[in-house]
């Protein structure tokens, strides 16, 4: 079974996404969106990592879309490391 690990940056990204969503759309929406992001990171990405797109100029880094966010991750033998979770408007070159 593939394990999922979050970098400190990815954990901070999730926290900031939740805070923004609470402030903008409320607690219920934040809870639903966090669940969706976590499900993507912990179930969809590990099961379908081979379908993710490689990130140009970043060897070994892959991206998976989840609604308005991109999940950036690296694959190891039995581990998926979630590197960052960035909004689609953010330039990945500035954060990766």
Q: Please give the average per-residue pLDDT across 17-44, as a whole number.
A: 95
Q: Write down the domain spans for the chain.
A: 3-95
pLDDT single digits (tens) 39-94: 999 998 888 888 899 999 999 999 999 999 999 999 988 899 999 999 988 777 76
Number of H helices, E strands in the chain: 4, 5
- Per-residue confidence band for 12, with pLDDT thresholds at 50, 70 and 90: very high
Q: Is the pLDDT of residue 8 over 80?
A: yes
pLDDT value at position 28?
95
pLDDT value at position 90?
73
Tokens of 93: 């070159």
Distance between CA atoms of residues 89 and 76, nearest Å: 28
pLDDT value at position 84?
96
Q: Please give the average per-residue pLDDT across 5-16, as a whole number.
A: 97
Contact 37, 14 (CB under 8 A): yes
Q: In CATH, what class is 3-95? A: alpha beta
């Amino acid at each position: 079974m593939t394990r999922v690990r979050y970098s400190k940056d990815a954990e901070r990204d999730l926290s900031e996404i939740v805070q923004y969503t609470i402030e903008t759309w409320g607690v219920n929406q934040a809870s639903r969106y966090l669940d969706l992001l976590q499900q993507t990171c912990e179930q969809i990405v590990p099961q379908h990592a081979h379908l993710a797109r490689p990130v140009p100029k970043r060897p070994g880094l892959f991206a998976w879309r989840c609604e308005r966010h991109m999940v950036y991750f690296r694959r190891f033998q039995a581990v998926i490391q979630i590197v960052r979770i960035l909004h689609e408007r953010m330039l990945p070159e500035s954060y990766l």
